[in-house]
Chains A and B, each alone.
Chain A
Amino acid sequence: MIKSWLSSVIGLSSAIGLSGDNALARSFQDPRIRGWLMQAAVLLLVALGIFELVQNTVLNLQKANIASGFGFLENPAGFAINFSLIEYSAQSDFLRAFFVGVLNTLLVAVLGIVLATLIGFSVGIARLSPNWLVARLAGLFIETLRNIPLLLQLFFWYFVVLQLLPSQAESLTPGGGIFLNNRGLFVPRILWEAGTFAPFCAALFASLVLAFFARKKFALEGWKVLAIAALPPLLLLLVLGWPLSLDMPVLEGFGFQGGISLIPEFIALLLALSIYTGAFVAENVRSGVQAVPKGQVEAAKALGLPSGLIMRKIILPQAMRVIVPPLTSQYLNLTKNSSLAVAIAYPDLVLVFANTALSQVGQAVEIIAMTMVVYLLISLGTSLFMNWYNARLALKERGVA
């Protein structure tokens, strides 16, 4: 008893540094020093691990006789890509192929985000409709599509639904130069007379900036903002004598010539991505709308607002604060999921670069790293933008300078 009391006194006194025993043991009792020691140990371990990996990789690459470095980017790629937003041929270099892939990924991601938002908001609001049938159909849509893997849905759209489309000679067409068949969707292309496209873009940009600031400054209504944004570019077009013409797709011989052609892989991927993500967005929208206090809706009804206006002016602006954070992660998911393109051979970044180019060059480390960096940058950009948007929507409270 006394012994243990004694030892605890000694322990205490040594902990606060009364007795002069070994300084090293004493400093190890200090949580701050212990923390630093542990961090140093972890850092050392991580560094050793990375060193080991790098060394193994270098050895393995030497053994397999694989070059390293980014010199290969200037070599001709030697493969064709059937869908590209920029000039590309088999003689173009790997860097160009890389950018073709990046642009194709961005194209399907941006269009997918727009479509998924439209689908998600419509279905999410329909889920809460007072109409029983609409609410049930929306619920069925959400519960079915959220619980089936995206890859399966993608295969279904591509190998089952799009296979049902007619051949080119029997294209479905609503008129106006739009054709849908098993080779894709063909739409007219707008042709600009030489030297008119750049001024138009400049005018459009200027009027958009003007409209943005006018809206902030004068609290204008929606249609006035739209008018400010749209009128100057239209006037410019009139002044220039309407330098636009349409390049219609025409069936000639074995295929359509002219216009813009969207390959079936693109359509299937876009449909699958936007519908799958739309179902998730719908669920976020539903929970966001339900998070708006009931008193808000009742007050709006008491003021005599029609239900459409209640949704637009009262519910959604408040629900957006709840919706935006999960919406951000849905957008990120959609962008990352666009890499499933590789399964149906839509030439996105993964197919063009991490698959075709990789099998030609064999430099796995550089190519996979470049691919991952692109996705990381896209993710970073999207989160930064959505964080900014979220901060803008956030409730402005008193007392916060």
Chain B
Amino acid sequence: MSMETYVKTRRHPALPPPGKATGLIGWMRRNLFSSAGNTITTLVCAAIIALTVPPFFNWAVLDAVWYASDGGLCRVEGAGACWAFVEAKFGQFIYGRYPAEEIWRPNLVLLLFFLNLAAVLTPRMPYKGWLAATLLFIFPMFAWGVLHGGKFGLSVVETSDWGGLLLTLVIALSGILASLPLGILLALGRRSKLPVIRTLSVLFIEFWRGVPLVTVLFMASVMLPLFLPEGVTFDLLLRAIIGVALFASAYMAEVVRGGLQAVPSGQYEAAKALGLSYWQMMGLIVLPQALRVVIPGIVNTFIGLFKDTTLVLIIGLFDFLGIIRANFTDANWASPNTAATGYVFAAFVFWMFCFAMSRYSLYMEKQLSQGERR
């Protein structure tokens, strides 16, 4: 074997440079076209977007009727969304049939409510306990007095005239405000060592969690009048609120129970060792810690309740969705696009409320876990 060595005499041709790993191209290569399968998926998704987004955009923006005094333009062949319908009925969508000259009353109530709520929700607000107590106990009475009237020279506005977003907010908010104390009591009852109290709480909670809200509302509208003694009548709105509040309190109880279980048992033992009574232990030591933990859960329960209030239209109340649907029958605005426009508008409003609340709940979750993070 000869002692030949292989020596390269020519330069090896340069390899192509590696694919761009930075910038837009690199990003697309990594995230959209990293493999054959990935490329196919990307193309399929792009096709779905191309097939759905432009027609929807055309319908909602380009072909839409923005200004009109009646539905004539919306009835034209090829017309898109009938936003003029929403514009014309906007007042009704928000306040229902609340008299136009009295609209400052719901406005005042909503403004004060959101101010009070914002104060309670702001981290590190002084006098938070008092503000929360006002919101829970004093505000509902004030709101009823102003909205319903009959006192202080305010004219009476029957609840059958309340409607739209106002009614949705009234039902959801009073439902949640009423269910909070009831839910806390039920959660305490469920974790109580007294067998009778525990059994009653479990039965109550599991009953309301096991039946659909529709049947609860039916029960509130047809059965509740039967339960009451002669001469006592509740109006339909109050009956619906009672049903919603009982229903929500069962869910609230389970949320609060989660918080109670999250409080370390050392806290209970320390409170007992200090000689605190049961209510002192719960009120001063356990509940303040437990409720802090479950704020996101309470917000989530409220989101669910807010969406579920739409069901009251089944028993004949005109909430936000109900009043929008009722307006579809207006012959002035009848068109093939009216219903779709109304539903899209309603969906947008509900989505905004719920999305904002769910983001707040995520934010609170982060805030609350800051102490535990090391």
Q: Mark B191-235, 1 if CB is under 8 A from A, else 0.
A: 001111100100000010111111100110011011111100000
- Per a CB cutoff under 8 Å, which of B209, B222, B228, B350 touches A152? B350
**Residues of B contacting A146 in the complex (Cβ-Cβ under 8 angstroms):** 354, 358
Q: Indicate if A83 sits at the interface (CB-CB under 8 A).
A: no
Q: Shortest Cβ distance from B142 into chain A, in angstroms? A: 29
Q: Majority SS of interface residues in chain A?
A: helix
Query: CA separation between A340 and B310, bound complex, in Å?
Result: 11
Q: Shortest Cβ distance from B328 into chain A, in angstroms? A: 9
Q: Shortest Cβ distance from B349 into chain A, in angstroms? A: 10
Query: CA separation between A193 and B228, bound complex, in Å?
Result: 59
Chain B residue, CB-CB nearest to A372: B211
Sorting the interface of chain B by its residue count into under 10, 10 to 19, 20 to 34 or 35 or more gives: 35 or more
* Interface set, chain A 27-54, CB cutoff 8 A to B: 35, 38-40, 42-43, 46, 52-53
Q: Indicate if B48 sits at the interface (CB-CB under 8 A).
A: yes
Q: Indicate if A133 sits at the interface (CB-CB under 8 A).
A: yes
Task: Tell whether, in the assembled complex, residue B350 and residue A57 are in contact, meaning their CB atoms are under 8 Å apart.
Answer: no
Sorting the interface of chain A by its residue count into under 10, 10 to 19, 20 to 34 or 35 or more gives: 35 or more
Q: A39-B194, A372-B215 are in contact. Are A132 and B31 (CB under 8 A)?
A: yes
Q: Shortest Cβ distance from A231 into chain B, in angstroms? A: 33
* Interface set, chain B 20-61, CB cutoff 8 A to A: 31-32, 34, 38, 41-42, 45-46, 48-49
**Residues of A contacting B41 in the complex (Cβ-Cβ under 8 angstroms):** 129, 131, 133-134
Task: Tell whether, in the assembled complex, residue A53 and residue B212 are in contact, meaning their CB atoms are under 8 Å apart.
Answer: no
Q: Which of A155-163, A214-222, A232-240 contacts B (4 or more CB under 8 A)?
A: A155-163
Task: Tell whether, in the assembled complex, residue A133 and residue B32 are in contact, meaning their CB atoms are under 8 Å apart.
Answer: yes
Q: Mark A51-62, 1 if CB is under 8 A from B, else 0.
A: 011001101110
- Per a CB cutoff under 8 Å, which of A39, A144, A338 touches B195? A39
Q: Indicate if B104 sits at the interface (CB-CB under 8 A).
A: no
Q: How many A-B residue pairs have CB under 8 A?
A: 151
Chain A residue, CB-CB nearest to B200: A46
Query: CA separation between A350 and B346, bound complex, in Å?
Result: 26
Task: Tell whether, in the assembled complex, residue B311 and residue A151 are in contact, meaning their CB atoms are under 8 Å apart.
Answer: yes
**Residues of B contacting A155 in the complex (Cβ-Cβ under 8 angstroms):** 321, 325, 343
Query: CA separation between A379 and B347, bound complex, in Å?
Result: 29
Q: A133-B45, A134-B45 are in contact. Are A339 and B230 (CB under 8 A)?
A: no
Q: Indicate if A170 sits at the interface (CB-CB under 8 A).
A: no
Q: Which 7 pairs show the lowest CB-CB distances between chains A and B?
A: A147-B354, A336-B212, A132-B31, A39-B196, A149-B307, A339-B212, A379-B210
Binding site for A on B (CB under 8 A): 31-32, 34, 38, 41-42, 45-46, 48-49, 193-197, 200, 207, 209-215, 218-219, 222-223, 225-230, 303, 307-308, 310-311, 313-314, 321, 325, 339-340, 343, 346-347, 350-351, 354-355, 358
Further 16 A-B residue pairs, CB within 8 A, beyond A42-B197, A56-B229, A148-B354: A42-B200, A43-B196, A56-B228, A63-B230, A130-B34, A147-B350, A147-B358, A148-B350, A149-B308, A151-B321, A152-B350, A159-B339, A339-B215, A355-B218, A364-B222, A375-B211
What are 7 A-B contacts defined by CB distance under 8 Å?
Answer: A35-B194, A39-B196, A39-B197, A56-B229, A56-B230, A57-B227, A147-B350
